[in-house]
């Protein structure tokens, strides 16, 4: 219960990696608020599950790309739960396609949801954290930022942007006791990666040093660590959690 007394906000927290992060932070004792965009049933089920485990969880319906709504969510979290100590920017979508055929709509949708949301929620959260002179911000990036995947110019651009954003913000707020880090997952078993996994089949695992795909809890473990007091001297870093994927081909 190392996060007892802390309040966390996770964007895109109803499914996949986000759901695992919400659950992990709650199990460490944090009061957890999370946003979801459309799947109200999944959000309500997660709240009920955590409440049965005697945890505090609150769900907010919010489009991650909506800056005004981001401010509302942060204000309500502080009002209802008393503070905001941890922010995890996890919300993200993919709309893959080769650039030559990519519509401006699909380009902008990914930029707005994946990258602009990080600005919106950090911009809203940073003031209460600065006033408290403490805080943890963890942004979810991807190995796609450096590894590169054909058909993901929009997605990779957002993740590369998140990593640069993370380093700059860490320098801006470090003196206020706020750490800003990112976690870059590799191939993780989620609904969002299903199409890629189905297309590549067993070939994906051959590229990974550990010869297995990652699970959502592999990411939530890293996020939890970066949220603890024990990580208070780590800031401006991107922690890659990919089982050795980006090491290159193994034997």
Please tell me which residue in 36, 119, 121, 155 is annotated as part of the active site. Answer: 155
Positive or negative CA dihedral for 81, 84, 86, 92?
positive
What number of H helices and E strands is found in the chain?
A: 10, 7
Question: Phi and psi of 187, rounded to 5°?
Answer: -80, 110
Is residue 199 packed enough to be buried (19+ CB in 10 Å), middle (13-18) or exposed (0-12)?
A: exposed
Beta bridge partners of 241: 185
pTM: predicted TM-score of the whole model, two decimal places:
0.95
Can you give the pLDDT at residue 43? 98
Taking 50 as the pLDDT cut, the residues of the chain under it are 251
Can you give the pLDDT at residue 211? 92
pLDDT tens, 84-128? 999 999 999 999 999 999 999 999 999 999 999 999 999 999 999
| Residue 36 annotated as catalytic | no
Can you give the pLDDT at residue 206? 86
Can you give the pLDDT at residue 124? 98
Q: How far apart are CA 203 and CA 55, in angstroms?
A: 40
Can you give the pLDDT at residue 83? 98
Question: Phi and psi of 218, rounded to 5°?
Answer: -65, -35
At what angle are helices 67-81 and 117-132 packed, to 10 degrees? 30
Can you give the pLDDT at residue 81? 97
The CATH architecture one would assign to domain 7-241 is 3-Layer(aba) Sandwich (3.40)
| For the chain, domain boundaries | 7-241
Residue 53 C-alpha from the chain's centroid = 23
């Amino acid at each position: 219960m190392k996060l007892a007394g802390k309040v966390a906000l996770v964007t895109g927290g109803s499914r996949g990696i986000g759901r695992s992060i919400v659950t992990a932070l709650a199990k460490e004792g944090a009061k957890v608020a999370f946003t979801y965009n459309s799947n109200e049933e999944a959000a309500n089920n997660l709240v009920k599950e955590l409440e049965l485990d005697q945890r505090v969880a609150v769900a907010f319906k919010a489009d991650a790309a909506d800056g005004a709504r981001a401010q509302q969510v942060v204000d309500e979290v502080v009002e209802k739960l008393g503070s905001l100590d941890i922010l995890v920017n996890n919300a993200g979508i993919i709309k893959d396609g080769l650039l030559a055929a990519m519509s401006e709509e699909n380009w902008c949708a990914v930029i707005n949801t994946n990258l602009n949301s990080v600005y919106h929620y950090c911009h809203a959260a940073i003031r209460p954290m600065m006033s408290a002179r403490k805080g943890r911000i963890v942004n979810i990036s991807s190995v796609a930022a450096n590894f590169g995947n054909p058909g993901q110019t929009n997605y990779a651009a957002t993740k590369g942007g998140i990593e640069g954003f993370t380093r700059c913000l860490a320098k801006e707020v470090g003196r206020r006791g706020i750490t800003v880090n990112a976690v870059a997952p590799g191939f993780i078993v989620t609904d969002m990666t299903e199409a890629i996994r189905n297309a590549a089949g067993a070939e994906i695992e051959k590229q990974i040093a550990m010869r297995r795909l990652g699970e959502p809890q592999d990411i939530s473990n890293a996020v939890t660590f970066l949220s603890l007091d024990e990580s208070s001297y780590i800031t401006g870093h991107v922690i890659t959690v990919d089982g050795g994927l980006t090491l290159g081909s193994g034997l």
